[in-house]
Amino acid sequence: MAIQPVKSVKIVEVGPRDGLQNEKVIIDTGAKLAFIGKLAAAGLKYIEVTSFVHPKAIPQLSDALDVVKGLPALPGMHYSALVPNLKGLERALESGIREIAVFTATSNTFTQRNINMTVNESFEAFQPVVQRALAEGLFVRGYVSTAFYCPYEGKIDSAATLDVTQRLLALGVQEVSIGDTIGQATPQDVTTTMTHLLQHVPVEKLAMHFHDTNGLALENVAASLALGLSIFDSSAGGLGGCPYAPGASGNLSTDALVGFLESQGIATGIDLNLLKEASAAIRKVLSNAEPELDDIGSLQNLAVNPRVES
């Protein structure tokens, strides 16, 4: 089918979740809510605000319930949160959030370390989660991590990425985000894998989630746009990383993404100055929260995903 030129995009801001989850020093709920408020003021409509995961796996997001309960009630906002299992869904429903995302990967080693399940076990866990969430009228997204490269298993064949994507769609998820978890994909990798996926999956179901380890995230966005893909995840100020993916660096920066899209004549509706203020403000909070030397010993003792080696 002919590729339609992309005229508008959906940007999913993941800074409050993916951006903050790797930050060791816990920042307070008020600072997170102020950050989210600034992102919304800049014009971002889709914001992934937290995760209902085990608090020991991601201590930074253990205040998920309070974050969601404190969100500014603004018209047209789509707030979402990660949910790994039924326990997470119960907590999400209690918070009142209306959009969730389940997350798996192409690689068994990565999913074991990340969520203590094989890929097949993750689908067994997600089946009742997605079924219940859809019955409650929630929007459900699915993530495919290690879609191009895995920190443990190396280069991933596009057939594996397609398989996990199709299994998520078969569960009923409404959008699938394709993750370059450790930021190793090149534009050629993006073109190869996504061309394969697009032979089987409608373009409007697919989002691209780039980390920027090698500085290629914007080139990967350009390669995606050339295929008609128009949903991009990014993080204000380029914060981010996954503690269970060695080598994962910051996400594609929303500031850079917006600047790039506008330069390509694709309007985003986002006020870049306000966005830069939001990014600078959260960076300031994080640098003010950096540990004193005396605190470093106790931070190294933080329990992280006790069932897995990382």
Residues forming contacts to Mg ion in the complex (CB under 5 A) are: 18
DSSP 215: S
Nearer to ligand HMG (CB atom), residue 284 or residue 307: 307
Count of chain residues binding ligand HMG (CB under 6 A): 28
Q: Does 98 bind ligand HMG (CB under 6 A)?
A: no
What three-state secondary structure class fits 159? helix
- Closest CB 254 distance from Mg ion, rounded Å: 13
The rounded distance, in Å, linking the Cα atoms of 295 and 301 is: 10
Nearer to ligand HMG (CB atom), residue 103 or residue 260: 103
261 binds, among ligand HMG, Mg ion, none (CB under 5 to 8 A by kind): none
Residues 23-82 binding ligand HMG (CB under 6 A) are 51-54, 57-58, 82
Q: Which of 83, 129, 162, 242 is catalytic?
A: 242
State the sign of the Cα–Cα–Cα–Cα dihedral 188, 190, 196, 199. negative
Q: Does 161 bind ligand HMG (CB under 6 A)?
A: no
The rounded distance, in Å, linking the Cα atoms of 38 and 232 is: 20
The CA distances from residue 36 to 20, 80, 95, 194, 250, in Å, are: 12, 12, 16, 31, 18
Q: Residue type at 49?
A: V
85 binds, among Mg ion, ligand HMG, none (CB under 5 to 8 A by kind): ligand HMG
Q: Does 305 bind ligand HMG (CB under 6 A)?
A: yes
Q: Does 145 bind ligand HMG (CB under 6 A)?
A: yes
- Closest CB 257 distance from ligand HMG, rounded Å: 15
The CA distances from residue 53 to 28, 35, 145, in Å, are: 18, 21, 16
- Closest CB 181 distance from ligand HMG, rounded Å: 3
The rounded distance, in Å, linking the Cα atoms of 99 and 281 is: 26
Structure-token pair, residue 191: 């073109």
- Closest CB 198 distance from Mg ion, rounded Å: 22
Q: Residue type at 299?
A: L
Q: Give Cα 299 distance to the centre of its chain.
A: 25
Structure-token pair, residue 74: 């603004």
Catalytic, 242? Answer yes
Q: Does 143 bind ligand HMG (CB under 6 A)?
A: yes
How deeply is 96 buried, as exposed, middle or buried, from its count of CB atoms within 10 A (0-12, 13-18, 19+)?
exposed
Nearest to 250 by CA among 283, 275, 274: 283
Out of 244, 260, 261, 275, which residue is the one contacting ligand HMG (CB under 6 A)? 244
Number of alpha helices (DSSP H) and beta strands (DSSP E) in the chain: 12, 10
Nearer to ligand HMG (CB atom), residue 19 or residue 44: 19
- Closest CB 267 distance from ligand HMG, rounded Å: 27
- Closest CB 299 distance from ligand HMG, rounded Å: 18
- Binding site residues, ligand HMG, CB under 6 A: 18, 21, 51-54, 57-58, 82, 84-85, 87-88, 91, 103, 114-116, 143, 145, 179, 181, 209, 211, 242, 244, 305, 307
Active site residues: 242
